[in-house]
Amino acid sequence: MTERKLTLTAGSYDAKVELDGHDLSRALRGITIRCEAGHRPSVDLDLKVDAIEVTQLAVRDPQILLAMPDEAKAALIALGWTPPTGDR
């Protein structure tokens, strides 16, 4: 598993979340940090993906369109996701 650096900077009404230097703040709905004895800390990021739209069904090679804000897409790429060909 690749180690990543998560930086949280919180103010009175907002917070900045950076992962390996990439600002994910606008791409997140929430964040959960777990620290359990005997385990490495883990972080769950709740990304703003508002809709998944299926554009075709019951065909040999269905195409699925995933609609998400640009910030969420950038966050996924920062986490190592590779967008489908032609969708960059």
Question: Does 65 map to a domain?
Answer: yes
Question: Does 43 map to a domain?
Answer: yes
Nearest to 24 by CA among 74, 88, 69: 74
Question: Does 29 map to a domain?
Answer: yes
pLDDT in the model for residue 4 = 80
Count: domains in the chain: 1
Question: Does 83 map to a domain?
Answer: no
Q: How far apart are CA 80 and CA 71, in angstroms?
A: 14
**Cβ-Cβ contacts under 8 Å for 12 (sequence gap 6 or more):** none
Main-chain dihedrals φ then ψ at residue 58, nearest 5 degrees = 60, 40
pLDDT at 88 over 70: no
pLDDT in the model for residue 87 = 53
Question: Does 1 map to a domain?
Answer: no
pLDDT in tens, 13-25: 888 988 888 888 8
Q: Which two tokens stand for residue 81?
A: 């996701």
Q: How many CB atoms lie within 10 A of CB 73?
A: 18
Q: Which two tokens stand for residue 9?
A: 């900077």
Question: Does 87 map to a domain?
Answer: no
pLDDT in tens, 23-76: 888 888 888 989 999 998 888 888 887 655 555 555 555 555 556 777 778 888
Question: Does 32 map to a domain?
Answer: yes
Residue 28 lies in domain: 6-78
CB 67 within 8 A of CB 56: no
Q: What is the pTM of this model?
A: 0.57
